[in-house]
Structure 1
């Protein structure tokens, strides 16, 4: 069981284009699914993309695979921020 007491969980859709020839989520797509979840979270929180005012940049990313993702489905993406900085 995953401890979700820290961070947030955002549901993401896995599409046919995300799958490899075996019907599993292609390993390189995990980061894209994560990136989409982060953007969805901030947009739902009221953030609007405006590069002249702010930019969301993920500098470091660590992924842990608990089980394979099989087929077209929805998955829960659990993430949290350990450190944030603001650059002028």
Structure 2
């Protein structure tokens, strides 16, 4: 069974998306290379949005909500990943604005118990013709509201 076909464990907010670390993701010391964490997070987000009916096929005019740009990325590393295998990325939205959003993430063990890295990323939705900020679509916002982390 691959990470893509395993059922994700339940988390109290957001989603836990399975990812796989391959041998060639490791650096010369045998650790997951620091630049691979954001790539894994991006792949997890892409899988989550595709699962919800959103995607990008290379046509920016038709990309809709996928026509966006990163404004900020923050990541902190807590523990090294030192072997290939099944892991997960815990994803949620911290803020869903009119034209921007902030999502949170944790790169963690497959069951979500151990956190290796965590961070936030700010995205701005862009109009494909002008590259100026434009509002998220209502279908996108509806899915986004489901992923919002609620204050406890």
TM-score for both structures, normalised by structure 1: 0.78
Q: Say whether 1:32 aligns with 2:39.
A: yes
The structure with the greater share of residues assigned to strand is 2
Larger Rg, first or second structure (1 or 2): 2
Q: TM-score, normalised by structure 2?
A: 0.49
Q: Which structure has the higher relative contact order (CA within 8 Å, separation 6+)?
A: 1
Aligned residues: 85
1:58, CA displacement in angstroms? 3.8
- Is 1:78 aligned to residue 90 of structure 2? yes
Question: Pairwise CA RMSD of aligned residues?
Answer: 1.9
Q: Deviations over 1:13-48 (max 9, x none)?
A: 111221011211011111111111111110111112
Structure 1 unmatched ranges of 5 or more: none
Moved over 6 A (4+): none
**Paired residue for 2:20?**
13
Give the unaligned 5+ runs of structure 2: 1-10, 100-132, 135-152
